[in-house]
Amino acid sequence: MSRTPSSARPFVSPDANGPAPQDPSRTRLPVLRTADTHCPYCALQCGMRLEEDADGTVTAAPRGGGMCKKGWTSPELLDHPERITRPLLRGEPVSWETALDHVADRVRRVQAEHGEDAVGVFGGGGLTNEKVYQLGKWTRLALGTKHIDYNGRFCMSSASAALNRSFGIDRGLPFPAEDLKDAEVVVLVGANPAETMPPFMRFLTGAELVVVDPRRTATAETAQLHLQPVPGTDLALANGLLHIAIEQGYLDHDYIGAHTTGFDEVRQTAAGYWPAFVERITGVSVPDLYAAARLMAGKRTVLLTARGSEQHAKGVDTVTAWINLALALGLPGRPSSGYGCLTGQGNGQGGREHGQKADQLPGYRMITDPAAREHVAAVWGVDPGTLPGAGVSAVELLRKCGDEVKMLFVLGSNPVVSAPRAARVADRLKDLDSLVSFDFVMSETARLAEVVLPVTQWAEEDGTMTNLEGRVIRRRTLRPAPDGVRSDLWIMKELAARLDAPGTYSTDPEAIFAELGRASAGGKADYSGLSYARLEERSFQWPVPAADHEGTPRMFTDLTFPTPDGRARFIAVDHRHPAERRDSVYPLYLTTGRILTQYQSGAQTRRIGSLDGGQFLQIHPDTAVRHGIGDGDLVRVTSRRGSYTAPALLSADIRPDTVFSPFHFPGAENANAAVSDVLDPVSRMPEFKVCAVKIAPAPR
């Protein structure tokens, strides 16, 4: 595929959401099968109709709303020539019986020598709810290990922690996305939906848009006001806006007094963030600070944060600062107003609700809570004392590989590309006694695996997903998987039988979903009122605690919150600098993100030829001149951890002290080789979004 630099600021037109060009010489054959399902990529989960014709060609079209180019081209991966259709043992095809016997024997030997926790599991935010639920159960019962976490730790964990401590519950959008159409102002902090989820932009057409981003992105191009802060200073910016709101009398004092706690301490903290001081920290001018505060004041305003504000070693506090601002303005729970977080991965919401997070059990229950353990153990038919305790976060789990963790299962993830300090992650995985990958293509992680087990794709399986609104939706099968391919659920059941594991393991997604409902009953993310029969008729936003319950499209509408006293919590937070600051050796900040045509680690989208766009380094022309770099020149970017190379893309749409690269590309182009793996103390989120680097022309 092309390795020329993509536009860092692509024009998003209706064509960006249109179908890929079709072969004009091809005559359309009769349609044999159809399925109404959802796109396999981001958390917007656009509805799509799949059709398979007589020669096996599958096409996709939107089913209400729209789709971006990734959705239109998603069927191409179903019959891709690189599809894995037989288990691989040390690179050689083997039978399923041989592969599974080998894996089970490895588990027994490793645990006999090193203990149960010597085996770990690394899951993914794209797995269905049924897979997530059974994976958490299988890990804790069949493997008996505490070591499970997933790549969603890299996605929304900081926002999750902030939502829980401020509102008592974590649902990314506590209202339907349609409500945004009636908002007067939408503030997007660290979000670029024009590239990451283009169909989402249709919800923003009626509002004045404020975008907070160090780059002038395609989303910022549409904004009435673009605030361009130094990376890592969003917390100071939010506190500065709160300072102005207090100074100018924009607060909703009735709301604060009746529905919140903790404002006095936050008021005292905000007093120290006078506008000139905030300008020095963030680089955002005082007039722009006042303009942003005026835009929000007294209007139906929605504040939305995303990865740009969250992927920091202070991500939880940064999100909390924006929640404080929303509460001070009296927004959460009000019509077409509030605070929300844009979830990234397809099942990023459901993926963290039902058991693959290190410290959680189904229903968003905490594994350290005795009552939660008792409830879930009863559903599983085991003694609560047999459940392991909390494990460690994704980055910490990967760090343990080769030492405390001797064997790792990886499902639906590609940490060799997606994890911070990626080169060291690859080294840790090579040090394992055994790496087992569940995948449908040979991702960079699968290439390191001792055993690769070929699994189904989204159009070959039934299940449910939970999108960015907390909306539970049905995924439906179009056609059977290729010969030799098995579902993740079948593999777990077969391995559990070989390990003589307690508990029961099903291959029927509907039966697993029913069990998930029982396990989640009474929890924060309560699915107990849902069934496949109900989901055939419509989707529901959780919680849905009874079979006659209509779901919860809008949370907090009575202005009470699921906290002990029913009030939302203000929490005072202070700005602190990134773990690494620019200096004479590393004079620039590197920030990373996604581009329009690629998704996550790129293991899927890089294999679709029509999804063009390669690695690049966006750099301000003045910065390029100082470093002797011309447009298109190959550049080496180096941090204290590692380096990568990328062709320069000169653009005045980025700050002169900052460079940007997408993180979709492997090997010598892997930007995650350079990023920081310093963790937020609460969420354990890595500081992907800011690290100090130096740049220089690279030899071709």
The average pLDDT across 305-320 equals 96
The average pLDDT across 366-374 equals 97
Residue 571 has pLDDT above 70, yes or no: yes
How large a percentage of the chain has pLDDT more than 70? 96
DSSP bridge pairs for 48: 37, 62
DSSP character string of 215-271:
B--TTGGG-SEEE-PPTT-HHHHHHHHHHHHHHHT---HHHHHHHEE-HHHHHHHHH
Which run of H or E residues covers position 472?
strand 471-475
Please say whether the beta carbons of 4 and 647 come within 8 A: yes
Residue 423 has pLDDT above 90, yes or no: yes
E-strand stretches of 103-212: 119-123, 148-150, 185-189, 208-212
In the prediction, which pLDDT does 234 show? 98
DSSP designation for 465: E
Residue 13 has pLDDT above 70, yes or no: no
Q: Which residues contact 167 (CB under 8 A, 6 or more apart)?
A: 174, 323, 332, 555, 556, 561, 562, 563, 568, 569
The average pLDDT across 539-564 equals 97
Pairing of β 634-638 and β 691-697: antiparallel
In the prediction, which pLDDT does 62 show? 96
CA gap 472, 683 in Å, rounded: 25
pTM metric for this prediction = 0.95
The average pLDDT across 509-515 equals 98
Q: 588-697: what CATH class? A: mainly beta
Residue 12 has pLDDT above 60, yes or no: no
Q: Which residues contact 669 (CB under 8 A, 6 or more apart)?
A: 614, 615, 644, 645, 646
Q: Hey, what are 50's tokens?
A: 């799949």
Average pLDDT, rounded, for the chain: 95
In the prediction, which pLDDT does 45 show? 96
| Residue ranges matching CATH 3.40.50.740 in the chain | 89-153+350-510+520-526+537-541
How large a percentage of the chain has pLDDT more than 90? 94
3-state secondary structure 202-225: HHHCCCEEEEECCECCCCHHHCCE
DSSP character string of 404-424:
TB-EEEEES--HHHHSSSHHH
| Residue ranges matching CATH 2.40.40.20 in the chain | 588-697
Please say whether the beta carbons of 619 and 651 come within 8 A: yes
Residue 15 has pLDDT above 60, yes or no: no
Residue 64 has pLDDT above 90, yes or no: no
Q: 157-342: what CATH class? A: alpha beta
The average pLDDT across 320-332 equals 98
The average pLDDT across 216-235 equals 97
Per-residue model confidence as pLDDT tens digits over 251-297: 999 999 999 999 999 999 999 999 999 999 999 999 999 999 999 99
Residue 341 has pLDDT above 50, yes or no: yes
Q: Hey, what are 345's tokens?
A: 């991965």
pLDDT tier at 344, thresholds 50, 70, 90: confident
Secondary-structure breakdown of the chain: helix, strand, coil percentages, each rounded to the nearest 5? 35, 20, 45
In the prediction, which pLDDT does 199 show? 96
Please say whether the beta carbons of 167 and 415 come within 8 A: no
Q: Hey, what are 294's tokens?
A: 């005026």
Which run of H or E residues covers position 471?
strand 471-475
**Least confident range of 17-26, 119-128, 350-359, 398-407:** 17-26
In the prediction, which pLDDT does 22 show? 53
Q: 89-153+350-510+520-526+537-541: what CATH class? A: alpha beta
The average pLDDT across 606-614 equals 91
Residue 589 has pLDDT above 90, yes or no: yes
The average pLDDT across 345-370 equals 94
More confident residue, 346 or 569: 569
The average pLDDT across 323-347 equals 96
Handedness of CA 210, 212, 213, 215 (dihedral sign): positive
Q: Which of 374, 370, 414, 324 is nearest to 598 (CA)?
A: 414
For 352, left (φ over 0), alpha (ψ -120 to 50), or beta? alpha
In the three-class reduction of DSSP (H, G, I as helix; E, B as strand; rest coil), residue 103 is classed as: helix
The average pLDDT across 585-607 equals 96
CA gap 235, 213 in Å, rounded: 13
E-strand stretches of 354-406: 360-361, 365-366
In the prediction, which pLDDT does 417 show? 97
pLDDT tier at 24, thresholds 50, 70, 90: very low
DSSP designation for 556: S
In the prediction, which pLDDT does 26 show? 58
**Least confident range of 20-34, 352-366, 558-572:** 20-34
CA gap 438, 550 in Å, rounded: 36
The average pLDDT across 645-674 equals 98
In the prediction, which pLDDT does 528 show? 98
Amino acid at site 481: A
Per-residue model confidence as pLDDT tens digits over 85-121: 999 999 999 999 999 999 999 999 999 999 999 999 9
Note if the bond before 193 is cis, omega within 30 degrees: no
Q: Which residues contact 572 (CB under 8 A, 6 or more apart)?
A: 262, 265, 266, 268, 269
Please say whether the beta carbons of 423 and 408 come within 8 A: no
Which run of H or E residues covers position 635?
strand 634-638
Residue 9 has pLDDT above 80, yes or no: no
In the prediction, which pLDDT does 617 show? 98
The average pLDDT across 588-598 equals 96
